[in-house]
Amino acid sequence: IDPRLLDPKHVFDQGYEAEGRAGPTIFHKSYDKQRRQRGGYDAAAGVTMHRALSVTEFVEGNDPVRALSDYNALVFEGACAPYREHAATTDEIKACLEDLKVLNKGDFTRVLRWRLRLRKYRQQLL
């Protein structure tokens, strides 16, 4: 007999609902499915429930898929000027970054490829 079957912590483990675990990312098959959110609203989102991330933090961050899943928009702030002026930053990319919640998987992959180009560009500048 597997000892995990007798362990109540393992048997009643709720997966993503457990403390400290993140929910599904944008590429997970259950990302679009509606589920009840019994925990209330995220206090970090503030009153407007709109979360924005700097493009610099997105490009230099280690987990871009999680950033695309957690935030509503990517904004060009003062230090993001080289990224805004880069040739790969088209009007379509700028429109995609304004509202991440309406993008499909093709748009997300396009944004991730754009991020890779900007990371290469950043390495050339250093």
| The pLDDT of residue 22 is above 70 | no
pTM over 0.75: no
Task: Please answer whether residues 58 and 64 qualify as being in contact, where contact means their C-beta atoms are separated by less than 8 angstroms.
Answer: yes
74: three-class secondary structure by DSSP: strand
Kindly report the number of other CB atoms within 10 A of residue 27's CB atom: 13
Residues 47-96: tens digit of each pLDDT: 667 788 999 999 999 999 999 988 899 999 888 889 999 999 999 999 99
Strand runs labelled E in the chain: 52-54, 73-75
CA nearest 82: which of 58, 55, 104?
55
How far is Cα 108 from Cα 111, in angstroms, rounded to an integer? Answer: 5
| Residues 52, 73 contacting (CB under 8 angstroms) | yes
Q: Determine the Cα–Cα distance for residues 95 and 103; give it in Å rounded to an integer.
A: 10
Percent pLDDT > 70 in the chain is 74
